[in-house]
């Protein structure tokens, strides 16, 4: 393993503004060569990258080894159906399960156990908590089971306990999906949702949550969504200077890292070309552009970003460098340590769901393919 000195991070390296997926379960020679040339700011992993505990930690170590600046290493480990690591062991209870159980102690344990197992594998950022409000627990907009509450107060309380424990355990957090998918009738993985909602309604609900967390999160993920009460007729929030620079950074005072949601989702692919998306993503004020699947286009993305003016890149590069100063090192890995951490998750699962339901759901989960929700 190489040592890192992020104070030497180049200030003009456009690759640092990309968060990219990894094609497989091992780092083959061609992919390693690509990543050495690309020098991305970080990597995001999915079910396609996970086979066994030792394999996953080896892949994480290899990603560090091809990086001369410490990379952001992230994953979606929310709990419930969006828990990549359930492919290796126990599935943590979902945000809805924890909400319905109503135990502050269990919410905090969820954050602590999540941090521990992520650091065992070498991750340093978790793409959660979800800060969307569940106005309808059965809505078909990709949020089912993932929301911490049905009101702004419930979300701030429950997600706050998880977020605080996660960060205390050495894993940085990411609030999503700003400014809120809560009322969306479409799934942005397939099409761009557009919501008719007034600014007053948003202030009382969605924006009340994000305003509360604006100084309590390390990063924020921009949603692929348009909302009439914020920018009628405008682009998706993820590509909007008004939503990022004006609302998130200006009005809400957020000073952390800002990233797009996956730019390979239908909400973007169906409406914008690749080069336009890369340009607009940075010009809107994002610090990281997320390319989860079309990894073969990452070098092209870097070339597009490099073509932008230095003034467009300086702020984003500074935010990435400052964020990387907060990254905690991985914990020492062993199979025994993994089994102990997994047992902690199972105990939490039983405490929240009860013995019978916890076992029943675990059996059913083993029959499902990974849910690739970002």
Q: Which helix (H) or strand (E) holds 79?
A: strand 77-79
Residue 367 confidence (pLDDT) = 39
Residue 185 confidence (pLDDT) = 58
CA-based radius of gyration for the chain: 19
- Angstrom distance (rounded) from CA 370 to CA 32: 25
Low-confidence spans in the chain with pLDDT less than 50: 1-9, 11, 364-374
How crowded is residue 195: how many other Cβ atoms within 10 Å of its Cβ?
21
- Angstrom distance (rounded) from CA 356 to CA 363: 11
- Angstrom distance (rounded) from CA 302 to CA 14: 6
How crowded is residue 83: how many other Cβ atoms within 10 Å of its Cβ?
24
Domains delineated in the chain: 36-359 (3.20.20.300)
DSSP annotation string for 118-130: HHHHT--EE---B
Residue 220 confidence (pLDDT) = 98
147: nearest Cα among 100, 208, 109: 100
Name residue 44's beta-bridge partners: 21, 74
Residue 366 confidence (pLDDT) = 43
Residue 47 confidence (pLDDT) = 96
Residue 184 confidence (pLDDT) = 67
**Hey, is 214 helix, strand or coil?**
coil
Residue 370 confidence (pLDDT) = 40
Helix ranges (DSSP H) in the chain: 29-38, 53-65, 95-101, 104-121, 152-168, 199-204, 206-213, 241, 266-269, 274-283, 298-306, 310-324, 335-353, 355-365
């Amino acid at each position: 393993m190489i040592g890192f000195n992020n104070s030497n991070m180049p200030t003009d390296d456009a690759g640092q503004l990309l968060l990219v997926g990894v094609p497989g379960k091992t780092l083959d020679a061609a992919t390693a060569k690509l990543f050495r040339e690309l020098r991305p700011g970080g990597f995001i992993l999915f079910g396609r990258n996970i086979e066994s505990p030792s394999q996953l930690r080896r892949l994480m170590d290899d990603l560090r080894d091809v990086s001369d600046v410490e990379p952001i290493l992230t994953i979606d480990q929310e709990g419930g159906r969006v828990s990549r690591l359930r492919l290796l062991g126990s599935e943590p209870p979902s945000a809805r399960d924890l909400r319905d159980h109503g135990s502050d102690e269990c919410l905090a344990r969820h954050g602590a156990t999540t941090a521990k197992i992520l650091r065992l594998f070498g991750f340093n950022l978790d793409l959660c908590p979800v800060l969307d409000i569940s106005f309808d627990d059965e809505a078909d907009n990709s949020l089912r089971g993932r929301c911490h509450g049905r009101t702004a107060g419930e979300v701030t309380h429950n997600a706050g306990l998880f977020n605080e424990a996660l960060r205390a355990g050495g894993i940085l957090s990411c609030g999503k999906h700003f400014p809120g998918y809560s009322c969306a009738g479409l799934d942005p993985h397939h099409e761009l949702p557009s919501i008719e909602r007034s600014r007053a309604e948003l202030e009382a609900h969605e924006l009340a949550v994000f305003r509360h967390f604006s100084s309590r999160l390390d990063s924020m993920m921009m949603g692929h969504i348009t909302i009439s009460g914020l920018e009628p007729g405008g682009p998706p929030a993820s590509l909007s200077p008004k939503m990022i620079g004006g609302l998130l950074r200006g009005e809400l005072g957020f000073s952390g890292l800002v990233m797009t949601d996956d730019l390979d989702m239908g909400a973007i692919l169906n409406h914008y070309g690749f080069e336009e998306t890369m340009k607009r993503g940075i010009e809107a004020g994002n610090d990281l552009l997320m390319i989860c699947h079309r990894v073969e286009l990452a070098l092209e993305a870097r070339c597009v970003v490099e073509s932008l003016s230095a003034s467009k890149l300086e702020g984003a590069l500074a935010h990435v460098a400052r964020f990387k100063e907060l990254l905690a090192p991985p914990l020492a890995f062993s199979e025994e340590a993994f089994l102990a951490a997994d047992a902690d998750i199972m105990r939490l699962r039983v405490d929240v769901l009860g013995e019978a339901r916890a076992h029943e759901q675990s059996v059913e989960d083993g029959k499902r393919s990974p849910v690739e929700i970002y």
